[in-house]
Amino acid sequence: MEWVIAGGGIHGCTIATYLIKAKGIPASQICIIDPHKGPIEKWKDLTSRIAMPFLRSPSVHHCDIHPFSLHYFNDGGSDVFYGKYKRPGLDFFNHHSEAIFTSIGLQERWQQGRVQGVTKSGNHWVVETDSGSVEGKNLVIATGMNERLSVPEWAEELRENRPTQVGHIFQENLPLITPDIAVVGGGITAAHLVIKLSREHPGRVVQISRHPYRVHDFDSDPGWLGPKFLRGFHSLSSYKKRRQAIHDARHRGSVTSELRNRLRRLEDRGAYRFIQDELEGSGVEGSTLSLSLKHSRWEGKTLLLATGFCPKIMKTEWVRELVRKEGLVCAQCGFPIVNEHLEWCDHLYVSGPLAELEIGPVARNIAGARKAAERIIRSI
């Protein structure tokens, strides 16, 4: 096998598409390892849970090699793009992705399994999974961060003791959704979830956030997609300063302007309440959950956390063991130091969060997947 890709989400599938369509690598020389049954299945699951109608990314950000592929794919429907940035509808984006992956036979290159370890054998990588081993000359780690949920400390005990009432919206088994409902979080995931629940249970939903809505069209300034900001970023020899630049550039916990407008209309109609407050304690009495806030109190039946993913991907055990065995170099923040082609060492590439000290703040999103694919194919 020429290429083994660990991760079959947006990043892994985009890289496979570029290898096949842009570099002419035979599909038979590629293997994608992923715990799920097919391409971008986890993406589809997570976005459907919050009923996300449109992507935050503009129409030129997708899994195909041609920037205007989504426009060419459109059969004339007027409702597949939204707003001035032509954000694609989720169903349309997924349909386009499926068509691309089918055309190159990606499903046939799939091995369902979870990576358990990676070792070097001669000039090949051996990837051990719970469904067998795969050997390849080149390895791409594109596992993303979907496996590690961010759960506040105060919620851990509640979630453990009341799994049918308390949970993270992205955990495998969701609690039963029974009003009254509280959604904890102030970002775009929480916003989509509140809109969905407010329509299903009007007047029975509360959103609790430590901060007011932060309105930004994108999760970082579009200048980070090109030389406007990246020229200065790449001139930083200090990876500590690069990490700080990434931190400062990200609009964490933000929502788009159209989402804020939709939420405001729902709030005006009394479909939900927004509470900006700090949590001080929690409790349970019978089947009733309670949250003690600094300036108020909530009682209800269901508590949903929309608090994102844990940023500490380098805690993944098999990645840490690979770093130790191969002597891979990491920055002070624990993330890889890679070359311009995203090589961590010879024939070992990274994408997504692992590539952000080279790609910059957009590394984790769809634009970052395209940039990573372009960098990797330039090296071969």
Could you report the per-residue pLDDT of 136-191, keeping only the tens digit for each?
Answer: 999 999 997 656 788 998 899 899 999 999 999 999 999 999 999 999 999 999 99
Rounded CA-CA distance 313/89 in Å is 29
Transcribe 277-322 into DSSP letters.
--EEEEEEETTEEEEEESS-EEEESEEEE---B-S-GGG-HHHHHH
Which listed CATH number (3.40.50.2300, 3.50.50.60, 3.40.1010.10, 3.40.1390.10) goes with 3-147+310-377? 3.50.50.60
Three-class SS state of 113: coil
Rounded CA-CA distance 185/137 in Å is 43
Neighbours of 67 (CB within 10 A): 12
Rounded CA-CA distance 59/178 in Å is 37
N-term to C-term CA, the chain = 15
CA 358 to chain centre: 18
Residue 160 CB partners (closer than 8 Å, separation 6+): none
Averaged pLDDT score across all residues of the chain? 94
Contact 366, 57 (CB under 8 A): yes
Task: Tell me if domain 3-147+310-377 and domain 153-216+252-305 are identical in fold.
Answer: yes
200-225 confidence digits (pLDDT tens): 999 999 999 999 999 999 999 999 99
pTM of the model: 0.95
> Which residue has better confidence, 242 or 71?
242
Give alpha helix (H) positions in the chain. Answer: 10-21, 41-49, 69-73, 90-103, 153-161, 188-200, 227-234, 239-249, 257-268, 317-326, 356-359, 366-377
239-259 confidence digits (pLDDT tens): 999 999 999 999 999 999 999
- Give the pLDDT mean for 283-309: 95
Three-class SS state of 258: helix
Neighbours of 168 (CB within 10 A): 22
For the domain made up of 153-216+252-305, give the CATH fold: FAD/NAD(P)-binding domain (3.50.50)
**In the chain, where the domains are located:** 3-147+310-377, 153-216+252-305
* Banded model confidence at residue 79, pLDDT cuts 50, 70, 90: confident
pLDDT above 90: percentage of residues in the chain: 89
- pLDDT for 351 equals 97
Q: Is the pLDDT of residue 125 over 70?
A: yes
